[in-house]
Amino acid sequence: MAETMGILGPAGTHSEAAALYLNRRLKEPRRLVIYSDIYDVLQAVTEHEVDEALVPVENSLEGAINITLDVLACSTMLSVERELIWPVHNLLMAKCQPAEVRRIYSHSQPISQCRVFLETQYPDVEIVKVASTARAAEIVGDLPAADGAAAICTARGGELNGLKLLAADVQDNMANSTRFYQLRPRQTLPPGRSPEQPDRELIICQIAGQKAGALCEVLMEFARRNVNLTRIESRPARTELGEYIFFFDLECEPGREQIREDAIAAVAQRCIWLKNLGAFPVWQA
């Protein structure tokens, strides 16, 4: 029986598109299970309702997906199996003609990512924010063409709802992309599945925020061992004001595994707590 993967729904979202792409590359495609929000996806894999989860962790324009980071910071169950970098292509789709558009539906993030297009091409059109790009496509698909409704959505979302393309790649930045983590419970890699050569390693730790230079000391442990950090992110620790949790992505260079382990061990001595969510490959879609 195929393994299951939880994703953010409904059908037609960027999350589903990324999961379908991932399935085409995997030797053993997963059966997709759709959930209504990211927290539910993460809970499903934590509680073994699904074998894996694919969740967004960061968008290149909008920044970190906080709910994903917060759950990873609190969880002792999950590890990262793979990262997928998904290029975001936002499309304007409708039943009507471009000149007939009077209302545009989409999620708040695509709306902000397409601000220049909207201000120059549709400055007087009503913009309506909804729960997802897939929901936007559903709403427009249920309305008659004479209503003048359009959606900023994915190609699949539009096609599922009988919409036609009015404009492609309407995002302001053509380099827009979203990083996804493929997560699974720790120590549950099926027998016979060989781990891939890792590109990144994720560690999460809490540093004493009241101690001057505490973050600098941690960073120096990496610097003096020439361990490159590709991302640093912080989130409130939710214990008291001024306390933060840090997320570090470490570059995995072949042959330097022991040096990286030594750096992590040294950092752990300078932290309140530290956990390692694993080393993993990075796939570029």
Last residue of a domain, which of 185, 213, 241? 185
Is residue 280 within 8 A of residue 82, CB to CB? The reply is: yes
- Which among 22, 47, 23, 21 has a CA at the least distance from the CA of 35? 47
14 and 45 inside one domain: yes
Q: Provide the total of helices (H) and of strands (E) in the chain, helices listed first.
A: 9, 16
268 with 142, same domain: the answer is no
Q: Are residues 9 and 78 in the same domain?
A: yes
pLDDT at position 186: 82
CA distances from 110 to 19, 30, 80, 117, 132 (A): 19, 28, 27, 11, 9
Whether residue 215 sits in one domain with residue 269: yes
Angle between helices 214-223 and 257-269 (to 10 degrees): 160
The Cα–Cα gap between 75 and 78 comes to: 6
| Tally of domains within the chain | 3
Q: How far apart are alpha carbons 213 and 200 in whole angstroms?
A: 26
Query: Would you say residue 157 lies in a domain?
Result: yes
SS3 247: strand
Q: Which amino acid is at 236?
A: P
Q: Are residues 74 and 100 in the same domain?
A: no
Distances in whole angstroms, Cα of residue 73 to Cα of each of 185, 269, 273? 14, 18, 11
Confidence at residue 239, expressed as pLDDT on a 0 to 100 scale: 77
Looking at the domain assignment, is residue 193 inside a domain? no
The percentage of residues in the chain with a pLDDT greater than 70, rounded to a whole number, is 97
Residues 103 and 236 in one domain: no
Give the model confidence (pLDDT) of 35-86 as tens digits: 988 999 999 999 999 999 999 999 887 889 999 999 999 998 899 999 999 9
pLDDT for the residue numbered 193: 59
Instruction: Give CA–CA dist 172/36, Å, rounded.
Output: 28
Over residues 108-112, the mean pLDDT reads 89
Question: What is the pLDDT, as a whole number, of residue 238?
Answer: 79
Does some domain include residue 215? yes
129, 152, 185 — which closes off a domain?
185
Q: Is the pLDDT of residue 102 over 70?
A: yes
Are 52 and 181 members of one domain?
yes
Domain that holds residue 49: 4-87+176-185
Q: Give the whole-angstrom CA distance, residue 253 versus residue 36.
A: 38
Q: Which pLDDT belongs to residue 198?
A: 93
Interatomic CA distance for residues 134 and 11, integer angstroms: 7
Question: For residue 10, what pLDDT band results from cuts at 50, 70 and 90?
Answer: confident
* Domain identity same for 181 and 67: yes
The Cα 263–Cα 110 span in angstroms is: 39
What's the CATH number where 260 sits? Answer: 3.30.70.260
pLDDT tens string 164-193? 999 999 998 888 899 999 999 986 555 555
CA distance 248 to 257: 16
The pLDDT score that the predictor gives to residue 170 is: 95
> Is 170 strand, coil or helix?
coil
Together in a domain, 180 and 64: yes
At residue 239, the 3 state secondary structure works out as coil
Clarify whether residues 162 and 207 are in a common domain: no
Contact 50, 153 (CB under 8 A): no
Query: What are 150's strand-pairing partners?
Result: 94, 104
Residue 99, judged by CB atoms within 10 A of its CB (0-12, 13-18, 19+), counts as: exposed
Q: What is the mean pLDDT of residues 10-34?
A: 93
Question: What is the total residue count of the chain?
Answer: 285
83 and 181 assigned to the same domain: yes
Kindly state the DSSP code that residue 219 receives in the 8-state scheme.
Answer: H
83: CATH:
3.40.190.10
